[in-house]
Amino acid sequence: MAQEGFVLWFTGLSGAGKTTIARALEPILRERGLRVERLDGDVVRQSLTRDLGFSREDRYANIERVAFVAKLLSRNGVAVLASFISPYRDMRDHVRREVTNFIEVYVSAPVEVCAQRDVKGLYARAVAGEIPNFTGISDPYEPPENPEIVLPTHEQSVEESVAAVLAYLETRGLVPRPAPAVGVS
């Protein structure tokens, strides 16, 4: 039986834990026999969309390009782990319409927690006015209204978040359940 593709679309503020959770989930999905590709906002902006800035128009163009890649992968049976702030609901709705088995994963954490986690110092620079159009500071973030999965990363561990995503995927039949451990006699 061929693997059915899907797109886990991790959305949330910078520092909420999107990439961390996707990285932790990736090897587990591979161990269960899935073909997996991880698309990460920082990495994509270094290659596929390096010509774009962070204006609303450029953010849309960025997500449109990523949606195209995710569509190609998911319709060919690949599990796509996409980690993008994607701050606007209508841009996430566009991706939902374009790809196979879109699953919106809201990685939720208060902006104060995200700022505390910020190892790059981006929040401090944004508050100081050095970074324009910074989501959560000088640009809006529109939380999902009906995401399939909500991960409150300020209240749960990475392992708990990964377990919640796996449980959802297993329930939908998109990921095989792990084989039961066989006792040695």
Q: What CATH number does the domain containing 162 carry? A: 3.40.50.300
Q: pLDDT tens, 63-118? A: 888 899 999 999 999 999 999 999 999 999 999 999 989 999 999 999 999 999 98
Report d(CA 75, CA 159) in Å as an integer. Answer: 29
pTM to 2 decimal places: 0.89
126 vs 113: CA distance, rounded Å: 15
Identify which has the larger pLDDT, 17 or 131: 17
Nearest-angstrom CA–CA distance, 122 and 66: 23
Bridge partners of 151, per DSSP, are 107
Query: For residue 161, what pLDDT is reported?
Result: 98
57 band by pLDDT with thresholds 50, 70 and 90:
confident
Residue positions counted in the chain: 185
- The C-alpha atoms of residue 7 and residue 101 are separated, in whole angstroms, by 6
Q: Which 3 state secondary structure label does DSSP give 183?
A: coil
Mean pLDDT across the stretch 36-41?
89
The reported pLDDT for the residue numbered 177 is 82
**How many structural domains does the chain have?**
1
Catalytic site positions: 86
Q: Is the pLDDT of residue 155 over 70?
A: yes
> 80 lies in which domain range?
6-172
Span of 53-57, 101-105, 131-135, 166-170 with lowest mean pLDDT: 53-57
> 72: part of which helix (H) or strand (E)?
helix 56-74
